[in-house]
Structure 1
């Protein structure tokens, strides 16, 4: 019996080896499936860590929704210039001539031509020697053994031959979460009942309803006398678009539109007289739930989305009179000149180490686990769900007010499969929260964090969930990324890193408020430190019998408190930066006195009141509680 089992194993091994030798195989440290918004950021960031990285992308473009899907009007984070998002935006400014040059439409502060985004991403990728990209390669399948993915098969569209990839670690950056599904990782799809998430706006019963998708088009102004009218689409009926704008409003049972045709088009106006068509109100959104379909069935359904957009274009040209606006001939390299791919607002969402829901955003310091301490990406857009083409959807959350927020690292790591990380829109969030984490700047930053986690995992020889949270955050801070969403402390401030780190400990907490289209969280760096407030925050960080005066604190009193905290932290993971600091208070006082100005702070006077930014710098440069007290993915001290 034992001999027979050995022969079977030997036979399988020989078969597997023969299969690999007969097909093209590639080995890599990190494989990123999907060169979309998150996947591109992940690949570039991972390669910057010196890790061998491979992106496989099914189209010929990089950037996904921000380029190939044509959604080139970014939503949110205008005042949160974080990491990879800021880097990309600065390159846009360089191309077009500054911030004002991309404020062309009214839906966004940053609008640009999709092909420019693709070009920028490709230039950034080309600068990374450790990064390889396979275009026109489509994900097909994978092999999972136990808790590891050992191989991934993709199809080379040019040769129609499979390519087998042997990675150490995989990032699922597909639009719909296809890798996690193939790996049989638990995930959610659609809306969860509020009783499951604890959200006050959750639906009463779980369902599989997802948001509408859009096949975006970019129109170009070919001149006043041009007639660019497309062939009349089959089944065209202008009534379908009644109430899209005031220029065509016949059915008064529909809600009255708030804009005329010109204003509707200027919603997505791009540089160089182009217009992005991504209009939800009786426009080219469409409800198609294609997530669980196979590729052929998806493509068949997506033809309906393309026809929807063509009918809307014909409506604009024929009913509204904009015959001079035609499909741009210098954007997408497709036969029909529509986007290379649809704009998916939602797909599968992994069951991660943590589940990020709306109450974590609205009540970050009081609800559930302190996930805010583990932040790796920030966002400020309201919760925005598109269900206008599915009136049966049980909820319509349009611009639901929440403060700005940070995304916890544990949302990127599945509960199962130890060498898989999630990027794009498939992270572990509730359906409600997906309405804000799905937007372009936030997804870029999630991708950057996924790439950092993957690279550090390889370099440290650790599976992702064993990589210290603080190590990932520190690397992101070095890349000028925000881990806390403070609107009033920018990366060029000399105290930026200190404020971010101390904010992530909870010793000094920010204040979040919903605000129009750009929600906010304030640190108030120049405000004075209140003793009572600090005492409460310190207890939530590390319980100890602190002796803290009431009222506003003076610099010398703050030094006394730092000394107490150092004693409280004695025996933590990392020792104090100052030898025997907890035993020699005079050592601390002397260090502060001699280093105050070199830390970038104003005049040192022990008797004057201390500001919040000064206390953050003082804590960071003396006892460093950010690294002293290591935390787990739930935000609690280890």
Structure 2
């Protein structure tokens, strides 16, 4: 077994892990970064989901490093793609013209920019990257994590990673049970949190649906995939609150919970109009998460738009993949649900012209880096969450609970975020939970475990609840969490202190916040009167 020593060990190379690595590296730390999949970037790349962002993202409300990622993606398109003149000169270039974000793009482009951002540190030897490896063990002495063991998924070889600080940036908080760090999973009870949207009873198995996304376009010919073996089962599958079988264009409206019919207009000539703050554009599935819009490029370069499917009908609620013995069964079932849905699109889906199915729909595995057309990993919305010194609850950020929409401020803020509490249907049978949020901050206490001294959460595993995770789980917030964790690890190493000691000392908190601001982290929102 080989051993790699570093100043900071980051387990998990999603957005939080990448941000943490950049922050620590820019402070002169030596970093080991491990990742389970072929691509770094997590929900943005291996899970293939375009960024979910707030409406002010082009002006403020994200970190400077996250903004560099976004602008790097746009610059890549301008440098290497045959954009139309209109698209090339558009400062707010949206390659896919998708409605879900101001920047819908192919995941491979984000991979390229992440690799560019990390390249100097790999070349200098300050960053050691261990990919296609997952954590399987850890050594903990006196509440301090001494090392983590990761296993190569191809060879089975084991590597020990040792460092004074260990960051858990995995998608489901995998280091927490391995290090005996106290954590929560699933729903907390209303008695425990006081949250208006929390259930009466806690349930560790009740988590948000995962979804196995895929990319596709439309091309001449018949590209119909083999009929899935379990297609008839999925064809009949219907949730009590859905209003139709899952293999349909119907799904609940997240805000009203009333079933609504969506549409699919293949390669439309016109884009929808209207303010996305009022009209999110999710009524037409083609345009909602489109990642390449042919009209943005030289005429004839793209025969078809490319669409990323991350739709309500793909949400798998058959069981949790956290702390269960049958995790692999549920992962396989989630992909089977998505495969059945794509086959339904090709063969039975109602077309606007009155026909059935689009056999010309074609899976684009090359776009997501796989042979089968489906993303390298499922889109994971919910993780284990640390028992933190400060747990963020609904009453902290909900407009209704607070009685106003002014920014939600916290002592010792280490960043900002903004999104509605957006909880998808869950494995416990819950429908959507959608709560309007104020612009919010990220409290330092949510990054500090109650007991484990040198482990920091760097992804969706901070001190939120099942409810508030619905707002803190999105791309720019995860990045900010990771960046703050990487900065905190470097700060603690330089001053020979532990995170809990920083949290307890107002002078150290102020010094740490000043470093964050110096690095381009916005720790407070400006006064916002409406949106």
Cα distance change on mapping 1:40 and 1:195 into 2, 3 Å: same
Whole-Å separation in 2 of the counterparts to 1:462 and 1:512: 40
Is residue 415 of structure 2 the alignment partner of residue 377 of structure 1?
yes
Partner of 1:210: 207
Partner of 1:125: 118
Partner of 2:189: 193
Q: Over aligned residues, Cα RMSD in angstroms?
A: 2.6
Is residue 28 of structure 2 the alignment partner of residue 50 of structure 1?
yes
Secondary structure at the aligned position of 1:257 is classed as strand
Q: Is the 8 A contact 2:207 2:427 kept in 1?
A: no
Secondary structure at the aligned position of 2:433 is classed as coil
The structure whose RCO (Cα within 8 Å, separation 6+) is larger is 2
Secondary structure at the aligned position of 1:100 is classed as coil
Q: Is the 8 A contact 2:237 2:245 kept in 1?
A: no
Say which structure is richer in helix. 1
Post-superposition shift, 1:298? Answer: 2.1
Q: Is the 8 A contact 1:35 1:62 kept in 2?
A: yes
Alignment of 1:35-434 (within 5 A): 35-76=13-54, 78-79=57-58, 80-97=61-78, 98-102=91-95, 104-128=97-121, 129=124, 130-208=126-204, 209-221=206-218, 223=219, 225-237=220-232, 238-240=235-237, 243=244, 256-262=259-265, 263-271=284-292, 273-280=305-312, 282-293=313-324, 297-320=326-349, 321-362=357-398, 372-387=410-425, 390=427, 392-393=429-430, 396-398=432-434, 400-434=435-469
Query: Where does the alignment leave 5 or more consecutive residues of structure 2 unmatched?
Result: 79-90, 252-256, 266-283, 294-304, 350-356, 503-507
Secondary structure at the aligned position of 2:422 is classed as coil
TM-score normalised over the length of structure 2: 0.80
Query: Where does the alignment leave 5 or more consecutive residues of structure 1 unmatched?
Result: 1-22, 487-509, 516-638
Cα distance change on mapping 1:24 and 1:364 into 2, 3 Å: farther
Q: Is the 8 A contact 2:95 2:292 kept in 1?
A: yes
Q: Is the 8 A contact 2:98 2:289 kept in 1?
A: yes
Post-superposition shift, 1:249? Answer: 6.7
Q: Is the 8 A contact 1:68 1:339 kept in 2?
A: yes
- Describe the superposition over 1:210-251 as per-residue Cα deviations: whole angstroms up to 9, x where unpaired: 000011111133x2x23221111112134548858998679x
Post-superposition shift, 1:442? Answer: 0.8
Cα distance change on mapping 1:311 and 1:192 into 2, 3 Å: same
- Describe the superposition over 1:168-207 as per-residue Cα deviations: whole angstroms up to 9, x where unpaired: 1100111111101111111111111222112232222222
Q: Is the 8 A contact 2:17 2:33 kept in 1?
A: yes
Partner of 1:455: 490
Aligned length: 455
TM-score normalised over the length of structure 1: 0.67
Post-superposition shift, 1:105? Answer: 1.4
- Describe the superposition over 1:320-352 as per-residue Cα deviations: whole angstroms up to 9, x where unpaired: 323222111422333323111111111211001
Cα distance change on mapping 1:407 and 1:365 into 2, 3 Å: farther
Partner of 1:484: 524
Q: Is the 8 A contact 2:386 2:463 kept in 1?
A: yes
